[in-house]
Amino acid sequence: VEKYIVECISSVQSQTLNNIEIICVNDGSTDNSLVFLRDLARDDKRIKIINTLNGGRSSARNIGVEKARGKYIYFLDGDDFIIKDTLLTLYEECEKNELDIVYFDADSFCEKNDLKDTNIKNKLKFYDKYYHRTNDYSSIRSGEQLFIDLHTNDEYRASPCLQFIRSSFYHINNLNFYEKIIHEDNLFTLRGMLLAGRVKHLSKAFYRRRVHSNSTMTKPESI
């Protein structure tokens, strides 16, 4: 993700909630991602870099959570970014309502070069409104009830990047990601939602999801 990592981390550095730790797990990258991370960390003591052998996305997230000391946990993929008031808004929402998890939406986009690729253009059409829920889920309810409501309306989405999670809830329920599988987000999100006692959804696209040819969601699946 060397093409995107600076934009990604910069979007976290510029958050209006600045009392945060920024944990970057370098999962055995073979490009220049680590070089860019070190440059960013040199000027920002909130950035902590963890180097590991390549173990996959689940392993990387689990390692990051193990090192995290914050009251809340948030996952951000290295090729995406978040808008400026994301973390403060989610933090205040969780504090005010004593939530285990707050869910939210995303906007999808792709770069001009990728728009020349017919496959990516078609994928973008699919994802354009995919992460927008049109129904209202703003009242506090159990995670189980939210799952039923979302599933009934065909608006259940499994991305870990669209949820802000209380650390104590995460650890008590051992919500770690199952390792060495792809689409690990399906198991993780379902478990978390069914275990959560107090959740809600904010109808705002805090997340910017990049659709491109090297993404897990767009490349052809192998056996």
- State residue 119's pLDDT score: 75
Global pTM reads 0.92
Provide the pLDDT confidence category of residue 69 given band limits of 50, 70 and 90: very high
Residues paired with residue 103 on neighbouring β-strands, in sequence order: 163, 201
Name which of 18, 56, 22, 69 is nearest 41 in CA terms: 22
Using pLDDT thresholds of 50, 70 and 90, give the confidence band for residue 122. confident
- What does the block give as tokens for 28? 């055995």
* Rounded-to-integer distance, Cα 122 and Cα 113, Å: 14
Q: Dihedral through CA 36, CA 52, CA 217, CA 9, nearest 10?
A: -30
- Gap between the Cα atoms of 109 and 34, Å rounded: 25
Q: What is the tens place of the pLDDT at every residue in 33-53? A: 999 999 999 999 999 999 999
Q: What is the three-class DSSP state of 25? A: strand
pLDDT per residue as tens digits for the range 133-159: 999 999 999 999 999 999 999 999 999
pLDDT confidence tier of residue 89, bands split at 50, 70 and 90: very high
